Structure 1
């Protein structure tokens, strides 16, 4: 096939895929590919094999990466769910608009997030935070909206109104007699207390790492010296390991174990839930559409739950750079100093009792009037950018 024909075929396939995502049913899809001279087998080229098996008006999405073998973190498989095509098209367009806004980074832009509607509505909204709501900004947003609802809110004097958090006693780990430490307990860095996350896996050498928040370490970081300690209510702290990777944008510090204690894929909640995998970006949108809640266990505030307020969010509130792939959930009271490094999670809808899927990291909370949520990087973003998974 010539280069010109290949380019023309690619354009035709892209156009057909766009129409499919906008709500084309199976009969129209089949008529289109036949009348266009395509074979039914072209569905594989389009990446829509599963579409032909779905009910009219539904499309498949990947909602999670889940271990086929519960005790084997390297046996991840994609989990598929069928959703209304109209809803999928609206959420996909909202994701694209959200990315466009973040790329433009126009004057006054502080961040944005996709807020999926429920399945019945087939809608999605992009929530935008602004430092000023000028006429020119409103015009720009109107030009970019392309049928997606935009909800704007003006946020003023963020730095001036931060409150001091209340102090509470940290949650200490058990004696770790089984050689592992779960997520949700206190850990110590050279400069502060944080929350220990669950085992973070990296395919490079199939490594299992401890993890906590990057901002819990001092500004003058040295991965040859920065140790992560496990404080105990009685007895001296135990060194868990030393930092091998800092990821400032995602606010993650990965620590290589250097002793007999290993990280665990469990959370220190009363039921001791076991982590079976993690949600994708569309998996989080699916949870939001079904009005499901996330949970977390922090070393200072303990166990809390809350609704998802935005997915694939961009936050530009606290640093000179913007953080992408964020989750907004719960309220500002669901996180306090020392909880950073915990994970948000939800029960595995297809797993056994006590099995959960990780949504993302918890790194910060709002502290200004008008908004109230916890934010942190989605697990899917860590996988996309660095190859990690839970």
Structure 2
């Protein structure tokens, strides 16, 4: 008798479980999942038991890494939720298509981003930006889609960068509480103004670091110092620390504190919030599926809120390399000169009212007609590439 889909699925799960109990190693287990049509990411992140325990029609995903004890920065735990399997499969296909486009880097490719649909729709799309000399590539791209819709937009005049306001009026620190500096206020390099981010944790060395935008330390001959300063309202300043490691591709720089003052997990929002952890890539997809918004506090534009426009994005608009793992959100007015280094965040869905999870790190905004968003690297990408977390 022919098995139903549910019976077939149960048989495959039972077979995998039996093989695990017989001493199957991890590599063999993952290979079995691939050939069986399962997602490696789910099994690898959640572990065998959680993966096999998924109800029919739903799969578990890791949405965030959160500190159960907010006073213990090294106590990260995975937070999971169950989502529709069809939605998960479509989003995974969109991630794979986006990665393929980035690897192919066809002539005229300027970037792309994944846009998950709602859970009810079980859809996802990939937004692709091309230059005016890219030619007719829609048919070729559509052939790669595999149930994922592709939105193509021609971008012009990207070389004409609009400058930010000449007269900045940044938010400066007026006092230091408990020898810690809250995020969202201005910091200064030898030649630039930026925004100070929340504590960046290095689990390899168990150090707590300051963080801001790496491009704040660039600027030619004038950029002769790698020291980060905290300007105060009384025209004085505090020496925060010096560059420990710089990561141009992510536009992130980690600052080793001098010890005079320490970094803080407090975000200087209108009500002051505390960072409890950070979202994963699928956690960001979950936010998009629920039509959630992100917030940020910049040294110049202050507190703003905006819709997420794309995740796992690739941006090739600047420099001679592409940036990966980006988030697109809000509008171009949500970021200006001096706001780079701020973080995007969302309230912790399972935390207290004053607790937030970090989504990403803000670096730039659109300056060309037709598109309007802030972009910056996702927190998950910083962790994947360099091990840091917020």
Fold equivalence (TM over 0.5): yes
Deviations 1:125-148 (A, max 9, x none): 000000037565223212221221
1:320-331 equivalent positions in 2, closer than 5 A: 320-331=320-331
Report the Cα offset of residue 175 of structure 1. Answer: 1.5
Q: How many residues align?
A: 366
**Alpha carbons 1:51, 1:58 under 8 Å: kept:** no
Q: Deviations over 1:46-91 (max 9, x none)?
A: 5353244343210000000101211111000111010000000000
Q: TM-score with structure 1 length normalisation? A: 0.89
Counterparts in 2 of 1:83-102, with a 5 A limit?
83-102=83-102
Aligned partner of residue 139 in structure 1, secondary structure: helix
CA change 1:126–1:37 in 2 (3 A) is closer
Q: Which residue of 2 aligns with 1:377?
A: 377
In structure 1, the gaps of 5 or more residues are 1-23
Counterparts of 1:65-104 in structure 2, within 5 Å, are 65-104=65-104
2:157 corresponds in structure 1 to 157
Name the SS for the 1:363 alignment partner. Answer: strand
| TM alignment of 1:307-322, pairs within 5 A | 307-322=307-322
Distance 1:250 1:134 in 2: 26
Change (3 A) 1:359 1:351: same
Q: Which residue of 2 aligns with 1:192?
A: 192
User: Which deviates further from its counterpart, 172-181 or 132-141?
Assistant: 132-141
Say whether the 8 Å CA contact 1:194–1:216 is kept in structure 2. Answer: yes
Provide the secondary structure at the position in 2 that maps to 1:68: coil
SS in 1 for 2:144: helix
Give the 5 Å matches for 1:16-55: 27-34=7-14, 39=18, 41=20, 45=29, 46=33, 47=43, 48-55=48-55
SS, match of residue 100 in structure 1? helix
CA contact (8 A) 1:314 1:323 kept: yes
Preserved contact between residue 268 and residue 297 of structure 2 (Cα < 8 Å): yes
Aligned residue number for residue 5 of structure 1: none
Output aligned runs, 1:1-390, within 5 Å: 27-34=7-14, 39=18, 41=20, 45=29, 46=33, 47=43, 48-132=48-132, 136-160=136-160, 162-165=162-165, 167-220=167-220, 225-390=225-390
- Look up the SS of the partner of 1:383 in the other structure: helix
TM-score of the aligned structures, taking structure 2 as reference length: 0.89
Question: In the superposition, relative to structure 1, how do residues 221 and 389 fare at CA in structure 2: closer, same or farther (>3 Å)?
Answer: farther
CA–CA separation in structure 1 for the residues paired with 2:82 and 2:17 = 25
Which deviates more from structure 2 when the two are superposed, residues 184-193 or residues 138-147?
Answer: 138-147
